[in-house]
Amino acid sequence: MQERVRFAPSPTGYLHVGGARTALFNWLYARKTGGKFILRIEDTDLERSTEESVNAILEGMKWLGMDWDEGPFYQTERMDIYKKYIEQLLESGAAYKCYCTTEELDAMREKLKEEGKKPQYDGRCRNRTEFPEDKPFVVRLRIPEGAVTFNDLIKGSITVNNAEIDDFILARSDGSPTYNFTVVVDDYLMGMTKIIRGDDHVNNTPKQIHIYNALGWKVPDFAHVPMILGSDKTRLSKRHGATSVMAYYEMGYLHEAMLNYLLRLSWSYGDKEIFSIDEMQELFTIDNIGRSPGVFNPDKLLWLNAHYIKEKNDEDLAELVFPFLRKIVSEDNKIEREALIKLMPHLKDRGKLLTEIAEMAQPYFVKAEELVYDEAGFEKFVVAGKEYLEELISEIKELDELNEKTLTPVFENILKKFNIKFLKIAQALRVSFTGKTFSPGIFEVMEFLGKEEVIKRVQAALNKIS
Ligand code: GLU
Ligand code: ZN
């Protein structure tokens, strides 16, 4: 049997870290088993669902590279289907119309509370024989006696007494179906074999099983994944940092790092920390999902990101850095692809984020006049080094090209002549070239910039002194 699993977000906000992890587990399960991964947008809450949010979710899925095989299906386009099954349940008697008014229900609950009972619907319309034509009604499921038991693939066996579940609403008075109902209808019709979702839904599962039973449908397997907590062990929220997946893209994270991080957050394979996407797809099992909540740890995510940045080849990394660099290099400057690639080996060990690498690369793609000098560095190295920088320019003018071989004797001369250490002139040059006190090896930078640009930048820095 081919496995079929789904991710079923409600489009009421961006793609959340927790949602992305749920999607990841489903996606990996489908890829691991050669099954299908279905995307379903649960947009029946018209007040809270937005198209913007649908787009944000799709964008997040695409960035993470979680491709779906079917969908996206939209529940709002399936209203006729839900209606049909509501009718069917009414006909079979598994559901019934409830005409109780809000006042009646309030009074009923009050009374139950006073009697020390659970304030749930008491089923008073179950055996109604009159059906007033002009009065609004909701449709409720007739919950049988007994109990429901299911074997959660993560949490183990769960039993809920039916007395705990009231005859809950399947369709509201305007005819619109409720969440539990649409989920069951879709999961069944879309052929889901396993429901892997956050354990905030575990309380819905017994209700949903009652709906499956009422319709005579086979109940799928459930796997409820423990939630994600922040460092203070409370539910992950904005207080703990960004919770939107795309915010991590904007901060300069790689999708591989994000996926690896989300995977390890509540799943393990011995002590292994680093999983390529191929490995994830090969090794993933529901059995290895942990039972306790994962604690979000931004340092670990950053560590993984640094790892994946180092692992990229220069071409791919340049490609990834480009959009971030483009944002901080003014428009009239061209960013040569080849030049950016050449810079990568010198930057990839220094930046943990694509944005950091872009920032380090920025000075090499702007004009000398656009450089922003680190003030302290400028004083300490450029102002102090005026004389030997001038000397260096005049000597470099005589060279045909700049590389370690041609530059070494020039530097040796200057060090001797001014009796200084290499670091001093190197720092003075770094600040002149980039505005910053750190850069790749100074000969490499000079070779990268070329003679003309080196002279221009040192001259521009010297001109700033007065
Ligand atoms: N739409 C639900 C949510 O976003 C998920 C439903 C489900 O996975 O069963 O929380
Ligand atoms: Zn009623």
pLDDT tens string 78-105: 999 999 999 999 999 999 999 999 999 9
What pLDDT, on a 0 to 100 scale, did the predictor assign at position 96?
A: 98
Which pLDDT band, with edges at 50, 70 and 90, does 408 fall under?
A: very high
Cα distance between residue 32 and residue 66, in whole Å = 13
- Residue with the bigger pLDDT between 378 and 438: it is 378
What confidence score (pLDDT) does residue 241 get?
A: 85
Q: Which of 238, 272, 367, 417 is catalytic?
A: 238
Phi and psi at 449, nearest 5°, equal -75, -35
12 lines ligand 1 (CB under 6 A): no
Whose CA is closest to atom 7 on ligand 1?
8
Q: What is the pTM of this model?
A: 0.93
Residue with tokens 């041609």: 406
Ligand 1 touching residue 374 (CB < 6 A): no
CA–CA dist 4, 36 (Å, integer): 5
Residue 9 Cβ inside 6 Å of ligand 1? The answer reads: yes
Ligand 2 center from residue 419 Cα (angstroms): 96
Percent of the chain with pLDDT over 90: 95
273 residue type, one letter = E
Q: Which of 342, 351, 234 is nearest to 293 (CA)?
A: 234
Atom of ligand 1 nearest to the CA of 7: 8
Please report the atom of ligand 1 found closest to the CA of residue 19: 4
Per-residue pLDDT at 49 exceeds 90:
yes
Ligand index nearest the alpha carbon of residue 179: 1
Using a CB cutoff of 8 Å and minimum separation of 24, what contacts does 438-447 make? 438/350, 439/360, 440/343, 440/346, 440/347, 441/346, 443/402, 443/403, 443/404, 443/407, 444/346, 446/402, 446/407, 447/402, 447/403, 447/404
Q: 75 C-alpha vs ligand 2 centroid, how far in Å? A: 27
How far, in Å, from the CA of 9 to the mean position of ligand 1? 5
Question: Does residue 35 surpass a pLDDT of 80?
Answer: yes
238 is catalytic: yes
- Measured in Å, residue 146 CA sits from the centre of ligand 1 at 27
How does pLDDT run across 316-356, given as a tens digit for each residue? 999 999 999 999 999 999 999 999 999 999 999 999 999 99
CB of 10 closer than 6 angstroms to any ligand 1 atom: yes
**Is pLDDT above 90 for 286?**
yes
d(CA 27, CA 445): 44
